[in-house]
Amino acid sequence: MRHIISVLMENEAGALSRVAGLFSARGYNIESLTVAPTEDATLSRMTIVTTGSEEVIEQIVKQLNKLIDVVKVLDLSDGQHIERELMLVKVRAGGKDREEMKRMADIFRGRIIDVTDKTYTIELTGTGSKLDAFLEAIDAGAILETVRTGASGIGRGERVLKL
Amino acid sequence: MELTGAEIVVRCLAEEGVEYVFGYPGGAVLNIYDEIFKQDKFKHVLVRHEQGAVHAADGYARATGRVGVALVTSGPGVTNAVTGIATAYMDSIPLVVVTGQVPTPAIGLDAFQEVDTVGITRPCVKHNFLVKDVRELATTIKKAFHIAATGRPGPVVVDIPKDVTYHTGEFAYPAHVEMRSYNPVLKGHPGQIKKALQMLLAAKRPLFYTGGGVVLADAAETLKELARLLNVPVTSTLMGLGGYPASDKQFLGMLGMHGTYEANLSMQHSDVLLAVGARFDDRVIGDPAHFAREQRKIIHIDVDPSSISKRVKVDVPIVGDVKAVLEEMLRQIKAGRERPDREALTAWWTQIELWRAKDCLRYNRKSPIIKPQYVVEKLWEVTRGEAYVTSDVGQHQMWAAQYYRFDQPRRWINSGGLGTMGVGLPYAMGVQFAHPDAQVACITGEGSIQMNIQELSTCKEFNLPLKIILLNNRYLGMVRQWQEFFYKERYAESYMGSLPDFVKLAEAYGHVGMTIEKPEDVERSLQEAFAMKDRLVFMNFITDQEENVFPMVPGGKGITEMILAEEL
């Protein structure tokens, strides 16, 4: 099962390596991992997307909690949540393809943020599957480069992860 | 007041009430050593290898329950210490290891004697710190001691760059420390405890399965009271030995790969299992699928939530300090009127006595060659069961665990989790420093003892009157045993052809050496050795080369699928 886990941790040097090290040492999967400081600069918030059986996920949450730098852990998949990922994709957009590429970006509510005679750079936000769908919808040969941030997640409604 | 970093380190250790620092100097820690030279609050023990320093600090911690302290220099000092740190980590032993680091401006430039200490030790510490600012030094050391000793204990590394040791900063040692990210749960959930008790009181075939957590939490007395009150049989892991008196009739002996017949069968056939500070590891329950074939309810008390339901699904988890939880259980039982099912218990005990009658630890006492088991039994007699016994890793370790009956906690000191050969001698040093008047024996093998034999020199310097009990079978015995059973007697590299003359070796280090070759000389030589109260005696027992450790559960098998001595 795919789980999306949020971690609040002390914003200290090496904190990220403790989490990454934990996952590799114990053989847990990481599909994606994003991290940045929060509005409180002493705290970082990390979103980890992982897969595993219920037992494995339970161990992941416990092992994360055991890290001394970790303040709070929340398995967002336990409840309603929203997740978003940002993708920048550079595509071939010359000649007859140029109009078609623009239309596809519009359909997916993407924004063209850089333009040359032959290329567009499109910014796209959404769930991972929406980004996948965009890449499948356009001509694979037109893709020059993609970069994705991995998912960030937050609880729906009044569900809050805070100190 | 303004102090240098080095002064702060020394002051912090003194504030923590540290008695001994085990260490080895080097470039990055010269300033710290200079301050150690100037003070008399604690003693420094100069070992002969950094691995020995960490093991000695670890042995001290195991024998006292206090935080052990080691000090090593950067680079190779740290890499040599890593085995010691990992050993302590696997057995949850509280240590603070202070390591020197190259000056902050040199970090990352491949400086002389530089390693990424925080990176290298990260997977084998409870936590580690790199202190880049002298103003954070005192608080960091305070945190290190706090983290090492509380919750599930463990080693903490404090890495201090050389420039931080000569920079100056205001010194004030914090009386206590609070961390928003670290607050171990100590008090067990009362509802869960109540549920557990109802299960235990209704049990037909209850069993206590106790581990190192009982020893670490100083819960032996409480455990004994509860077990006696409920008349429940008790088995212990290797790490838990001494947590319940081995000579008590409710004790079934150690369980697991080399556990007793009665312990393993009781484990498999119990209907309510109370696991106390134990973690169902592979050496204990063998194949988890085989273990799961029998239905039982499991209650698990542990201070570390991640130990619960890790390998075996648990019915009633209780997170908390083992001692606090057991005390609450006792309180609730005494307050209530419910008592265990006496009839069911009588039937259960009758069954257990049948298993016990198998006498699975018997061996040939008439052998003309010294049997290793016999040496351990005689050691127990000569020391009246009161010695601190350290061991290395291998067959001798299992015989020590099986035949030296530990009635008190913290007397049995060995590397259970990591299984580190070479710990025995430095462990014994740490124990003897902690208890200068106690009898300390190191049961070892000729393979293990050579892994840290340089510490005989440290023992001479500090006149430690250890008794080294070398069970010398000229084989890496446990390897040989597996090769005999599972590799058709192809003894690949398990025979030690060219052993030193251990008597001369002991003498060369300034100690007394003895070689004992006949069973009839065992007891007398042990008495002779322990009568030498101010000398280290190195006793080289020439033992049966092909003796095996029984019972044995082959790797990956179920715990009742034991090979017993008689079956061969």
Interface pTM (ipTM) of the complex? Answer: 0.93
Nearest to A14 among B118, B181, B306 (CB): B118
With 0-12 / 13-18 / 19 or more C-beta atoms within 10 angstroms meaning exposed / middle / buried, residue A145 is: exposed
Return the residue of A nearest to B308 by Cα: A59
Q: Closest Cα partner for B127 from B108, B143, B138?
A: B143
- Chain A: give the shortest CA distance to residue B139, in Å: 15
| pTM (two decimals) | 0.96
Q: Which backbone phi and psi does B303 adopt, to 5 degrees?
A: -75, -20
Chain A contacts to B (CB-CB under 8 A): 9-10, 13-14, 17-18, 21, 25, 55, 58-59, 62-63, 65-66, 68-71, 163
- The alpha-carbon gap from B276 to the nearest alpha carbon of chain A, in Å, equals 19
Residues of A in Cβ contact (< 8 Å) with B122: 14, 17-18, 21
- What does the pLDDT profile of chain B (568 residues) look like in tens digits? 899 999 999 999 999 999 999 999 999 999 999 999 999 999 999 999 999 999 999 999 999 999 999 999 999 999 999 999 999 999 999 999 999 999 999 999 999 999 999 999 999 999 999 999 999 999 999 999 999 999 999 999 999 999 999 999 999 999 999 999 999 999 999 999 999 999 999 999 999 999 999 999 999 999 999 999 999 999 999 999 999 999 999 999 999 999 999 999 999 999 999 999 999 999 999 999 999 999 999 999 999 999 999 999 999 999 999 999 999 999 999 999 999 999 999 999 999 999 999 999 999 999 999 999 999 999 999 999 999 999 999 999 999 999 999 999 999 999 999 999 999 999 999 999 999 999 999 999 999 999 999 999 999 999 999 999 999 999 999 999 999 999 999 999 999 889 999 999 999 999 999 999 999 999 999 999 999 999 999 999 999 999 999 999 998 999 999 999 875 5
Pairing label, strands B388-391, B412-413:
parallel
Is B398 exposed, middle or buried (CB count within 10 Å of its CB: 0-12, 13-18, 19+)?
buried
The b-or-e profile of B69-82 (16+ CB within 10 A means b, else e) is: bbbbbbbebbbbbb
Note whether A17 contacts B119, CB cutoff 8 Å.
yes
Is residue B500 reached through a cis peptide bond, with omega within 30 degrees of 0 on the bond before it?
no
Q: Which residues of B are catalytic?
A: 50, 112-113, 162, 478
Q: Classify residue B88 by burial, with Cβ atoms within 10 Å: 0-12, 13-18, 19+.
A: buried
**């016990």: which residue's tokens?**
B356
